[in-house]
Structure 1
Amino acid sequence: MADRTSSSITIKAAKTEIMAVIADLEAYPGWASGIREFAVEETGADGRPARARLTFDGGPFSDTVGLSYHWEGDDAVRWELVDKGNVVTSLHGAYTLAEGGGGTDVTYELAVDVRVPMIGMVKRKAEKRIIDSALKGLKRHVES
């Protein structure tokens, strides 16, 4: 698996409230930049998405991929690519939540591989941009 890029942010809300927003995949286009569509294809016994199809516009790249989700209560969610797209060949990600004194610390990890050859430093910068944008959008959406 590729190296992961990660970043964290503190959100002034409880883990349950934040995880409810994270689990509402179909609402992502309203607050997560670059996400054009998210369609849940299968839900698990807990009612949360188990499989979904994501369509994104990532600057020079746009693609549609299938993802599988693994939920750990309100502590974490991990996802992985199950249906490759035209550009994305591997994808692993996670949100991990930990309550702290000033709110909940949310860490987003992401590793993406694409068909187009890319220098590691450039790839990590792109992942960092995706992560930071997602975390800021999540914070704005939850705290609004």
Structure 2
Amino acid sequence: MADESTQSIVVEAPPERVMAVIADFPAYPEWAKAFTTAEVVAAGADGRAEQVAFSLESGPFKDTYTLAYQWSADGLVVDWSLVKGQMQRSQNGRYALTPDGARTTVTYTLSVQLAVPMIGLFRRKAEKMIMDTALKELKRRVEQG
């Protein structure tokens, strides 16, 4: 099992607005620099994405993969797991939103296991960079409105 990494950031917006940005997968390439495409391939009766296919390009790292999503009834948590991928053996992640007045703390947890072995130190550094970038880009997108 791969190790988990967790990071948090405070966003100046209510959780509904934060989750709306997280759930708008087709818009990811507009604000999340590493994504070249994000396509909902299956949606639930409530209209929320159940599976999303991504193409990612970040420096020398390129991947195409599909994630399955589970949304909490209260709208504050979304979990995902890898369905299939080229460069990844597994991926499990979570965004958990904690309301605080007009602000929201977003906690991002990620665990990735690549198909190609990577030294733990380098993998953790890559995960930290991915998470840090993702949270900052999410914050920027939500706060820009």
TM-score (norm 2): 0.94
Listed one character per residue, the Cα deviations across residues 109-134 of structure 1 (whole Å, up to 9, x for unaligned) are: 11111122211111011011011101
Partner of 2:45: 45
Shift of 1:101: 4.3
Shift of 1:89: 1.3
Partner of 2:88: 88
Letter of the aligned partner of 2:8 in structure 1?
A: S
Give the 3-state SS of the residue equivalent to 2:68 in structure 1.
strand
**Could you tell me how far apart the structure 1 residues matched to 2:110 and 2:25 are?**
17
Give the 3-state SS of the residue equivalent to 1:19 in structure 2.
helix
Structure 1, unpaired ranges of 5+: none
TM-score (norm 1): 0.95
Q: Does 1:6 align with 2:15?
A: no
Q: Does 1:74 align with 2:80?
A: no
**Could you tell me how far apart the structure 2 residues matched to 1:82 and 1:5 are?**
20
Q: Does 1:110 align with 2:105?
A: no
Partner of 1:100: 100
**Could you tell me how far apart the structure 2 residues matched to 1:140 and 1:80 are?**
25
**Maintained 8 Å contact 1:4/1:111:** yes
Q: Runs (4+) of structure 1 moved beyond 3 Å? A: none
**Could you tell me how far apart the structure 2 residues matched to 1:121 and 1:128 are?**
11
Structure 2, unpaired ranges of 5+: none
Letter of the aligned partner of 1:77 in structure 2?
A: V
**Could you tell me how far apart the structure 1 residues matched to 2:2 and 2:117 are?**
14
Identity, % of aligned pairs? 46
